[in-house]
Structures are given as structure tokens and as C-alpha cells.
Chain A
């Protein structure tokens, strides 16, 4: 899977608790993305990063924050988890820093999050 891992792979938490999901890549890709996948909605972009410390919102960013302190890691935080954030979360990467086309995205295996 293009050297991209996500942790944890499964998590069950309670409403109101903070949750952090981690995406780690070994491919030296510049761009990183967090998506959520829900039945009937397909994949929706939550946040993305276009470099270290450079992040921006996607289409469903409310209730989520991200951080990228180094190239390899992109963290997604749910400050206070709600049941509506129960979903499968995917991280994706694109575009090596050495400069090839950044069109194709490579996906991690996903994190299944359940908020009770």
C-alpha cells in the first residue's frame, strides 16, 4: 500500500472524548489527505496537507483538526467525538517531494471508528 499505515485500525470510544488518528508514510510524498467514508456518501475530504505545517479544510471539516509537524505524519483529531463521526477514515498520500506528478493518490488501510 505504497508505504502508508494508519493507527489505530479500529477504535471504539465514547461521545465527548478526544480521539487522534495517525497516518504515517515512508514514501516522502508531499500531499496528505484525510477522508471519511460513509454509506450513501462515498469518500469525503476532511482535511489535507500540502507540506509540513501547511494544512487546509476539506468539505466536511467541522469537528476535526489536523496537524503535520513532519513529512511522514499527518494526525487527525476529533476534539470531542460525536456519534455522527462514526465512520471509516482513510488517509491518502500523493506526489513525491522530488517532484513527480501528484495526481494519483495512494490510500492507507483505513481506521474504523465507532463513537458510542
Chain B
């Protein structure tokens, strides 16, 4: 089951601009996570936001969660060329015992031009 759907699929911006990526999900969750994947590498965990949190910050990252709309957004402020990567949201698998299983969206490809 697709727990996360990212929007847009691709985003191209200039260095210094802000980048916003959105994620919608289908079932109730107790947390939602965002990951980054640089080309040819494994995913790296960025931030986890719990269902009782509305906003969370980590450095230049800001994540919001709206459980009523089943949506989350990831904002990267003052983007840098090194932020060029794919970004994925992930939520716990729906139904059954979780065992930490996640369902990932298809990702947003962010390109930051110097």
C-alpha cells in the first residue's frame, strides 16, 4: 500500500532559494519520516515527526504535519547545490504488526543550480 505520495515529482531551483516538497498519505500514522538519497547512494534519514507534533526543525530543514489533511511538507531553506538529491517521505506500514516497516513514496527529485 502506498503510504506516501510526494509532490512535485521534480523541482529545479537556484542556490539560495527555498525548496518545498509535499507528501500525502492515506491511513492514520503515528509518525512520518523524510529521507534524502544522493545519486547512487543509500537513503539517509533526515527527520521524523510524530503525530502529536505540528512542526519540527533540524538545521535548514523544516517539516510540518497536518494529520487532518493527511499531509506533510519538507522545506529546505537557503538551498545549496549539495542539497541536490531525491527526497522521500515514509510512513509506517498500514495494518498488522509494524516491526518498524515503512512504506516509501516515489520521491521528489530536487536539483539546485549553482
Q: Which residues of A contact B (CB under 8 A)?
A: 1, 31, 33, 40-43, 45, 48, 50, 56, 58-59, 90, 92, 94-95, 102-110
Which residues of chain B have C-beta atoms less than 8 A from A104's C-beta?
Answer: 33, 45, 48
Complex CA gap A58/B101 in Å reads 9
Q: Number of residue pairs across A and B with beta carbons under 8 Å?
A: 55
Q: Which residues of B contact A (CB under 8 A)?
A: 1, 31, 33, 40-45, 48, 88, 90, 93, 99-107
Extra A-B contacts (20), CB below 8 Å, given A92-B43, A103-B31, A110-B42: A1-B42, A42-B88, A42-B104, A42-B106, A42-B107, A45-B93, A45-B103, A50-B99, A56-B99, A90-B42, A90-B43, A92-B42, A102-B100, A103-B48, A104-B33, A105-B45, A105-B100, A106-B45, A107-B43, A109-B41
Task: Specify the chain A residue showing the minimal Cβ separation from B86.
Answer: A42
Contact among B43, B93, B100 with A103 in the assembled complex (CB-CB below 8 Å)? B100
Which residues of chain B have C-beta atoms less than 8 A from A56's C-beta?
Answer: 99
- The answer on a CB contact under 8 Å between B33 and A43 is no
Complex CA gap A33/B90 in Å reads 14
**Residue among B33, B40, B101, B105 having the largest count of chain A Cβ atoms under 10 Å:** B101
Shortest C-beta distance, A85 to chain B (Å), equals 19
